[in-house]
Amino acid sequence: MNESIIIPLKEMKIRKFTIVLLVLTSFTWMRVSAQQWVVPDDKKGVIAPFKFVPDSIKKGEVIFMKNCTSCHGIVGKKNWAKITPEPGDPASDKFQKQTDGELFFRITTGKVPMPEFRNILPENDRWNVIAYFRSFNPAYKQPNPAGAVVFNGRVITLAMDFDKSQNKVRVLAKETLKDKSEIPAEGVHIILNVKRYFGSMQIDEARNTNKQGVAMFTVPADLPGDKEGYLDLTARVDDKSGQTSDASANSRLAIGKPTDVPSLLRTRAWWSTRDRAPIWLILTYSLAVLVVWGLIFYILFMVNKLRRI
């Protein structure tokens, strides 16, 4: 073969090998970096502001079952979702060896594919989830809540209603001072979410409150509600600096588009109940069962025939 042809072929093989090597290296680096989740030293020692009692554990279980089982599975069953990085089982040593502060930081800040729960769950709810985790560790001894760091930032409370004159949702933020008096809270970053089938969806852009402590949000006129047009709205403080307390306000307002959408459990779908499974799935399953039993009977018939012979 001509030498001028052999050299380019060798170069092509080297280039292909180099590309494959780069892809594998990049993939390995992405997996390693995804598993690295460093908790700042000043967050590791954070402890819960209240004692973990049976009521806390029960509340934490309800919150976990609603928000976390899709990835982590049932605690203690090791049936977490097969994704990268692995979510893991909260009852495992990997979880239980972490301090309460480490668990709280990771639940609060999140890391892909885990969401940030600081904008989903109030602070006490996040601690209740940790209380639920600890109930699976007989050797766990909770640090004394009396030693918890006192919050010195702005203590905020929220309220929400609908301003018909502007056709907008109004969120009012108030700051509680040390003398227990309240004043309008200016400059508080607010996020407005609406409840959907699978979690929450943000409405409009996040807003900062004005001098009167008010933030206004526009809700799309065609946003589907229930049969009567009701929407379940949640306004939350979004402050990643930690200088503002967690606060939220919930309200059910008839400002959506009336929509008669059947429940997911009333439709024939994969995620529905057994009696609502898709027809084709029922037929396929039934046919598969008949084929298997038919094959078993055929084998038994042939074995019996061989015995007679």
**191-246 per-position pLDDT tens digit:** 999 988 767 889 999 999 999 999 999 999 899 999 999 999 999 998 877 788 88
Pairing, β 189-196 against β 182-184: unpaired
What pLDDT score was predicted for residue 68?
A: 92
Asked if residues 223 and 257 have their Cβ atoms less than 8 Å apart, the reply is yes
What pLDDT score was predicted for residue 18?
A: 56
> For tokens 């008669």, what's the residue?
260
What pLDDT score was predicted for residue 12?
A: 55
**Residue 244: inside a domain:** yes
Domain count for the chain: 3
Q: What is the DSSP string of 156-225?
A: EEEEEEEETTTTEEEEEEEEE-TTS-EEE-TT-EEEEEEEETTEEEEEEEEEE--TTSEEEEPPPTT-B-
Evaluate if residue 34 carries a pLDDT over 50.
no
Neighbouring residues of 94: CB distance < 8 A, sequence distance ≥ 6: 88
**Residue 263: inside a domain:** no
Taking the C-alpha atoms of residue 288 and residue 282, their distance in angstroms, rounded to an integer, is 10
Do 164 and 194 belong to one domain?
Answer: yes
CATH number for the domain including 204? Answer: 2.60.40.10
Taking the C-alpha atoms of residue 104 and residue 248, their distance in angstroms, rounded to an integer, is 19
Task: Print the domain residue range for 46.
Answer: 41-147
Residue that wins the pLDDT comparison between 13 and 154: 154
What pLDDT score was predicted for residue 243?
A: 85
What pLDDT score was predicted for residue 134?
A: 95
Evaluate if residue 263 carries a pLDDT over 70.
no
Do 108 and 63 belong to one domain?
Answer: yes
Domain-terminating residue out of 89, 113, 147:
147
Q: What single letter denotes the amino acid at residue 229?
A: G
What pLDDT score was predicted for residue 289?
A: 93
What pLDDT score was predicted for residue 264?
A: 61
> For tokens 């977490």, what's the residue?
80
Evaluate if residue 247 carries a pLDDT over 60.
yes
pLDDT band at 111 (very low <50, low <70, confident <90, very high): confident
Domain-terminating residue out of 147, 176, 200:
147
Evaluate if residue 176 carries a pLDDT over 90.
yes
Evaluate if residue 4 carries a pLDDT over 70.
no
Do 86 and 140 belong to one domain?
Answer: yes
pLDDT band at 32 (very low <50, low <70, confident <90, very high): very low
Taking the C-alpha atoms of residue 188 and residue 215, their distance in angstroms, rounded to an integer, is 9
Domain-terminating residue out of 119, 147, 175:
147
**63-97 per-position pLDDT tens digit:** 999 889 989 999 999 998 888 788 899 999 999 99
**Residue 24: inside a domain:** no
What pLDDT score was predicted for residue 142?
A: 94
